[in-house]
């Protein structure tokens, strides 16, 4: 199975600043996803980016994918206190069709008011 | 839509007891996933189903773990006998597979404590 590794493990910034999280993975993938988890809750899907895409936007979120470097980044612009959460990148478990996900350990983001 | 429903939300049991976790996926979804989350190991895929058929159970840690999906609207994860190291949050997720991988919708999780 493949595994993404997020960097940094923890990030604390002031409200209004931008937050950037990075993810590296080991082998070729056909898509990569980002999820958010608030403390004690289930995961919420943020963005799915496919291997033929380089960048994708959703509201204040921007995700990039560099398949040559096997890395992805998640940028949250104009951060808010409500963005405080853990963020995970996820890659296909086996590369098959209806596939499960392999998650990294996550980046814990704290937005200081 | 009610989202993915899991029950119970919390389970405390003694070592050696049987534990059954339940999941109701989002109506119309045809893929279902069971994950486990611990501080030490993070989020791990245990097993997943497509159209009620188990596709990959290589993440199931031991024979003490078993999962079933008797129909499109219900799945169970059973641990028998349970051990303290099984303590974790167990998540169920569902997705709609239509030839391309899509986002997964997670339930709120079941927090299992085995004493």
- Compute the count of residue pairs across chains A and B with CB atoms less than 8 Å apart: 64
The pLDDT, as a whole number, for residue A97 is 60
Q: Å from B111 to nearest chain A CA?
A: 9
Using a CB-CB distance cutoff of 8 angstroms, which residues of chain B are in contact with residue A106?
42
Q: DSSP letters of A29-86?
A: -SEEEEEEE-TTS-EEEEEEEETT-SEEEETTEEEEEETTTTEEEEEE-S--GGG-EE
Interchain pair A100, B45: CB under 8 A: yes
Across residues A17-34, what is the average pLDDT?
Answer: 93
| Residue A95: band (very low, low, confident or very high) from pLDDT cuts 50, 70, 90 | low
Q: Is B7 helix (H, G, I), strand (E, B) or coil?
A: strand
Name the pairing type of β-strands B110-114 and B10-13. parallel
**CB–CB of B108 and A42 under 8 A?**
yes
CB–CB of A97 and B50 under 8 A?
A: yes
Encode pLDDT of B9-60 as tens digits: 999 999 999 999 999 999 999 999 999 999 999 999 999 999 999 999 999 9
What does the angle CA A3 – CA A64 – CA A51 come to, to the nearest 5 degrees?
A: 65
pLDDT computed for residue A36 by the predictor: 98
Q: Which residues of B touch A91 (CB under 8 A)?
A: none
- DSSP three-state, residue B84: helix
| CB contact at 8 A, B114 and B15 | yes
Look-up: residue for tokens 């937005």?
A: A111
A57-93: pLDDT as tens digits: 999 999 999 999 999 999 999 999 999 999 999 998 8
The three-point CA angle B38-B41-B44 to 5° equals 85
Q: What pairs with residue A63 in β-bridges?
A: A56, A74
For residue B87 the two structure tokens come to 């303590």
Q: How far is B43 from chain A (nearest CA, A)?
A: 6
Instruction: Provide, as residue numbers in chain A, all residues whose Cβ is less than 8 Å from the Cβ of B97.
Output: 97-98
User: Which of B4, B56, B108 faces A94 most closely, judged by CB atoms?
Assistant: B56
Residue-level pLDDT at A96: 58
| Pairwise CB contact (< 8 Å): A97 & B109 | no
For residue A80, give how far its alpha carbon lies from the nearest alpha carbon of chain B (Å): 23
pLDDT in tens, B48-102: 999 999 999 999 988 999 999 999 999 999 999 999 999 999 999 999 988 888 8
List of chain A residues whose C-beta atoms are within 8 Å of the C-beta of residue B31? 98
- Is the CA virtual torsion B23, A43, A105, A52 positive or negative? positive
pLDDT above 80: residue A2: no
Assess whether pLDDT exceeds 80 at residue B1. Answer: no
How far, in Å, CA of B19 to CA of B78, rounded?
6
* B-chain residue closest to A93, CA distance: B45
Arithmetic mean of pLDDT over chain A: 92
Q: CA of B113: how far to CAs of A73, A107, B15, B83, in Å?
A: 35, 25, 9, 9
Nearest-angstrom CA–CA distance, A97 and B30: 12
Can you give the pLDDT at residue A1? 47
CB proximity list for A63: less than 8 A, separation 6 or greater: A34, A46, A47, A49, A55, A56, A57, A72, A73, A74, A75
Q: Please, are residues B112 and B89 in contact by the beta-carbon 8 Å criterion?
A: yes
- Least CB–CB distance from B31: residue in A45, A98, A106: A98
């Amino acid at each position: 199975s493949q595994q993404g590794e997020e960097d940094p493990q923890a990030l604390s910034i002031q409200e209004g600043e931008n937050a950037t999280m990075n993810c590296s993975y080991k082998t070729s993938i056909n898509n990569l996803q980002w999820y958010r988890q608030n403390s004690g809750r289930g995961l919420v899907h943020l963005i799915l980016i496919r291997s033929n895409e380089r960048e994708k936007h959703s509201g204040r979120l921007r995700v990039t994918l560099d398949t040559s470097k096997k890395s992805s980044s998640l940028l949250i612009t104009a951060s808010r206190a409500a963005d405080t959460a853990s963020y995970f990148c996820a890659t296909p478990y086996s590369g098959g069709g209806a596939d499960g996900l392999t998650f990294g350990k996550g980046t814990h983001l704290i937005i200081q008011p | 839509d009610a989202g993915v429903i899991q029950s119970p939300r919390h389970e405390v049991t003694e070592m050696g007891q049987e534990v059954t976790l339940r999941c109701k996926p989002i109506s119309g979804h045809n893929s279902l996933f069971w994950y486990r989350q611990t501080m030490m190991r993070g989020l791990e895929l245990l097993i997943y189903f497509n159209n009620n058929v188990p596709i990959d159970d290589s993440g199931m840690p031991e024979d003490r773990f078993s999962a079933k999906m008797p129909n499109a609207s219900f799945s169970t994860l059973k641990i028998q006998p349970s051990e303290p190291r099984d303590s974790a949050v167990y998540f169920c997720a569902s997705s709609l597979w239509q030839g391309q991988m899509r986002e997964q919708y997670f339930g709120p999780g079941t927090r299992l404590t085995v004493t």
